Structure formats: C-alpha cells, structure tokens
C-alpha cells in the first residue's frame, strides 16, 4: 500500500471495498462532470449516492494521511509514497513571454 504502514486485513479489505464500490458506479456520475449544477438538481438520488460513497472513502483514507504527516519520518529506512508528497513544492517558474 502506498502508505508504507502495515494494516490489519480488515482495514485493507474495507479500503478495497470502498475503492471498488466507487469504481463500479463511477460511470453513473459522469453527468456531474458535464453539468454540475443541473446534474445535482435532476439526479438528486444519484448525487446523494456519490456523496455517500466519496464520504465513506474519505473517512477511511484521510485519518491515515493525517497520521503519516504527523509521524516522524526521518528515521525510516523505507519511505512510503505518501511521505514524498507531504513537502512537495512546485519550482518557481519565471514568466518569460519571449520579449527578452
């Protein structure tokens, strides 16, 4: 897993189920990408299902992310993928529009 910590089998299965549930019905939510405001009004039940699935996934993953950020990662030999993203910064780009 990209978090680098060992989780019990139940926790992994719960995350797997949440991801699979979202992937299986993702095609139904395309209307919200095309028509966000109108889609929420016309497909109210579908929007509630989307909020329920995404909220469940967030409740599972956000505490793991917060724990990884709060933990001291300097003494680890193996760094997890999520640890590399914590202090990620974009490089400064000079605005050069070709005028010298």
- Residue length, the chain? 100
pTM, rounded to two decimals: 0.62
Residue 4 domain-assigned?
no
> CB of 5 within 8 A of CB of 81?
no
Number of domains in the chain: 1
What residue has token string 């926790």?
11
> CB of 86 within 8 A of CB of 68?
yes
Residue ranges for the chain with pLDDT beneath 70: 1-6, 68-69, 71-80, 82-83, 95-100
* Dist. CA 42–CA 28, nearest whole Å: 13
Helices in 1-100 by DSSP H: which ranges?
9-25, 30-34, 36-42, 44-70, 81-86
Residue 6 domain-assigned?
no
Three-state secondary-structure class, residue 72: coil
Domain that holds residue 39: 30-72
């Amino acid at each position: 897993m990209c978090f680098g910590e060992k989780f019990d089998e139940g926790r992994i299965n719960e995350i797997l189920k949440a991801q699979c549930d979202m992937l299986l019905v993702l095609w139904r939510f395309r209307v919200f990408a095309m028509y966000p405001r109108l889609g929420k009004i016309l497909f109210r039940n579908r929007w509630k299902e989307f909020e329920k699935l995404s909220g469940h996934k967030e409740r599972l993953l956000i505490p793991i992310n917060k724990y990884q950020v709060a933990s001291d990662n300097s003494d680890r030999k193996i760094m997890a993928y999520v640890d590399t993203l914590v202090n990620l910064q974009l490089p400064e780009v000079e605005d050069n529009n070709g005028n010298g």
